[in-house]
Amino acid sequence: MSSFLLLCQKDLRYLIRARGVALSTFGFALLLTLVSSFAFRQVGYSQQEMAEITPGILWLIFLFSGVIALGNGFSYEVENSAIRGPIFSGTDPSVFFLSKFVSNFLFLASLQLFVLLAHGVLFGIEYFGVFGELLLLALLGGMSFVALGTLFSAIAASLPGKDILLPLMLFPLSIPPVAGSVFLMRQVLLEQSYQWTDFWFLLLLGSCAISTVLSWALFAYVVRE
Amino acid sequence: MKVEEIVSIDFLTKSRTTRRVLPLLSILGIFLSLYCIFTVVPNERVMGAAQRIFYFHVGSIMGAYLMIAVLFFSSLAYLGSRKDEWDALAAGAASIALLFCTVGLATGMIWGHSAWNVWWRWEPRLVSFFVLWLILFSYSMLRGFSSGNASQKNYAAVLGIISAVNVPIVIYSIKLLDHTQQLHPEVVEKQGLKDPSYWYTFALTNVSLLLFALWLLSLATTALLLSRQTEELAAGE
């Protein structure tokens, strides 16, 4: 437990001290918000149509800026072979995975919160009353994305072409949770009636659980060699 | 009891009978099914001749599913036993699965163009199959990028397991979705094949394409194992 806290602390401290990393990721997310506005805002869609489009656009921003953060989170471990420290000191790889997962998740969660707020303000979307639900759905999808992303960033970090390889491996496998999150967010935004036993919610929860457990179980095979 | 003591893939890579029987049976079967598809089976009432692509469409997708199952079990076996041949089998299965998936997508698009008048619909089953194709594509990309890396086989086995586990989620979860959102026909589930000749043509095409997939798998795996042996010999000299 103490090594878990220590490793978490180290990762978070890195994110805070190396200000460029966090700051540039947030800036990149803003840039994506701007670019997404070219796609549809000029046409002047109605509030309803905006609600239809917004979840997909939001997830596009989460995915692209998230994958940069994930890739960064592991490449600094490999650059100076820092990863050998925790592995050789006998830290359980699953503890190592959990600490990486938690610190990555905290970072992505703050990114998602920021993007939701920024997007809502810039596009005038009426989040009033549903913001908590939207954030929860985004975080559930984000959890699955981060679990797989932590595993795949460990794989990609030591390979040539890691920058293209990470999204290539990560995005297709993130489709089930992301699709679930997008469809549920749309239902929330349109204030349609929905149940927590809906197909999309089961898909979101199921793929979230499976990808987290699998990534956690298989992580040892990736870092131990 | 270890994995390699119970099952071995020698019957795929080394057995001479397999090497002769599989190509013979599969090629004979494919020609026989082509004969049945184009001469025996009557024209479908609504779609006409375009329906005849259905047999190869379903058969190649069945072949892809079989190869994904092989990918899953051989990846597990590799992580359990660390034997080279399991890794080679996984690599072969993934490439054949990608090939059969591509054929399934292409035949589906050709059919879609004559039935729906568009090459592609953003319909749940089509999207999920596209995702499956992308998953297999990323696996082959990982193989390519990591060649020469000491941990390549581990990486590939890990991605292979996760990919194969996701296939039932991606493919079968769609069936739970509301039917009003679906466009893809359910021929077999709804017993849409009325004439008995439909059924034996369907079974024959499926079996021969599955055998064809197994033959290609044995070729791909053997080639990979041989090329590794050559590399080892060249490195030893």
Q: What is the pLDDT of residues B91-100, one digit of tens each?
A: 999 999 999 9
Please tell me which residue, A17 or A149, carries the higher pLDDT value: A149
Given an 8 Å threshold on Cβ–Cβ distance, is B169 in contact with A160?
A: no
Residue B50 pLDDT > 80, yes or no?
Answer: no
Residue to mutate among A145, A162, A169, A199, with most B CBs inside 10 A, is A169
Digit-coded pLDDT (tens) for B120-146:
888 888 888 899 999 999 999 999 998
Q: What is the pLDDT of residue B181?
A: 67
Reported as a pLDDT band with limits 50, 70 and 90, residue A6 is: confident
Structure tokens at A223: 């870092």
More confident residue, B198 or B146: B146
CB atoms under 10 Å from CB of A125, counted, come to 17
B180 — pLDDT class (breaks 50, 70, 90):
low
For residue B132, give how far its alpha carbon lies from the nearest alpha carbon of chain A (Å). 8
How many domains would you assign to chain B? 1
Q: What is the pLDDT of residue B6?
A: 58
Q: What angle do CA B184, B114, B175 make, to 5 degrees?
A: 5
Q: What percent of chain B has pLDDT over 70?
A: 90
Question: How confident is the model over A191-201, as pLDDT tens digits?
Answer: 766 777 778 88
Percentage of the residues of chain A whose pLDDT score is greater than 70: 94
| Reported ipTM | 0.88
The pLDDT assigned to B40 comes to 83
Q: Which residues in chain A are contacts of B101 at CB distance < 8 A?
A: none
Give the Cα separation of A173 and A141 in Å (integer): 12
Helix runs in chain B, H state only = 3-6, 10-13, 16-35, 54-81, 84-115, 124-145, 152-172, 196-236
Partner-chain contact A225 B150, CB within 8 Å: yes
Residue bearing the bigger pLDDT, A86 or B138: B138
Task: Write down the mean pLDDT value for chain A.
Answer: 86
In angstroms, what separates the C-alpha of B146 from chain A's closest C-alpha? 6
Nearest residue, CB atoms, B146 vs list A159, A172, A199: A159
Residue pair B193/B205 in contact (Cβ under 8 Å)? The answer is no
- pLDDT confidence band for B157 (50 / 70 / 90): very high
Q: How far apart are the first and last CA of chain A?
A: 24
Out of A28-32, A122-126, A181-185, least confident range? A122-126
In a domain, B23, yes or no: no
pLDDT at B167 over 90: no
Q: Do A175 and B170 make contact, defined as CB atoms within 8 angstroms?
A: yes
For A42-58, the pLDDT digits (tens) are 666 777 788 888 899 99
Whether residue A1 has pLDDT greater than 70: no
- Domain hosting B107: range is 28-40+50-236
Q: A203 pLDDT exceeds 60? A: yes
Q: Does B175 touch chain A (CB under 8 A)?
A: no
Q: What is the pLDDT of residues B108-119, one digit of tens each?
A: 999 888 888 888
Give yes or no for A173 touching B (CB within 8 A): yes
Q: A interface mutation test: which of B79, B133, B158, B170 has the most A CBs within 10 A?
A: B158
Q: Whole-angstrom Cα distance, residue B142 to residue B165?
A: 17
Quick one: pLDDT at residue B69? Answer: 95
The domain limits of chain A are: 2-223
